[in-house]
Amino acid sequence: LSQADRDNIRLFKWQMTSHTTRRAYDQLRFALRDRLPLDSQFIILRRIAILSGVKPHYHDCCVNSCMAYTEKYVHNQFCEYCGEPRLDSRGKARRRFCYLPLIPRLQGFFQKPELIAKMSYRAEYRSDPRYMRDVFDSSHYQQLCRHKVVVDGEKLPYHYFSDPRDIALSLCTDSYLLY
């Protein structure tokens, strides 16, 4: 990566983790333009996509973040919850969000030996029933490991997480963290 790429990615990370508005970000870019030329958010996202090989998917969403205009809502012109219009006076979405597909990101983890070693943590972790040191010590995880995988009502011949290449994902719905 070039130094400019590193600077742009660092500032983008700062913006996301500090919940800085796009307007404040643009003001900072303007204030530092002589000393540190920084790209716009759009250019940084495009550059990250090119560097990572992960193609983002953009979806229209309510200006108040009530809903996304996907699947059965794809043709809606007003929010189902707050009634706000989807489009502005120019016919453009008032707000969009960027979705990064999960599968290419997981595939990317298996491209570097260091990340492969980190991804092996779950398979190599040894639980001790006397202690709760990790999520893999939890009763729910331990129970899953003792049960056979069921797909469409059919029991498969193996247990959950029995293959060292299996990946355990968790989902947090109480907040949004990019990094």
How confident is the model at residue 66, as a pLDDT?
93
Pick out the chain residues at pLDDT < 70.
172-179
d(CA 99, CA 179): 15
Helix locations, 32-171, DSSP H:
41-52, 102-109, 113-119, 121-124, 139-146
Q: Is the pTM of this model over 0.75?
A: no
The SS3 of residue 135 is: helix
d(CA 86, CA 83): 9
How confident is the model at residue 172, as a pLDDT?
66
d(CA 38, CA 145): 48
pLDDT tens for each residue of 10-31? 988 888 888 888 899 899 999 9
Residue 93 DSSP code: B
Report the first-to-last Cα separation within the chain, whole angstroms.
19
The SS3 of residue 124 is: helix
Residue 179 DSSP code: -
Contact 60, 92 (CB under 8 A): no
Beta partners for residue 148, in sequence order: 159
Contact 22, 44 (CB under 8 A): no
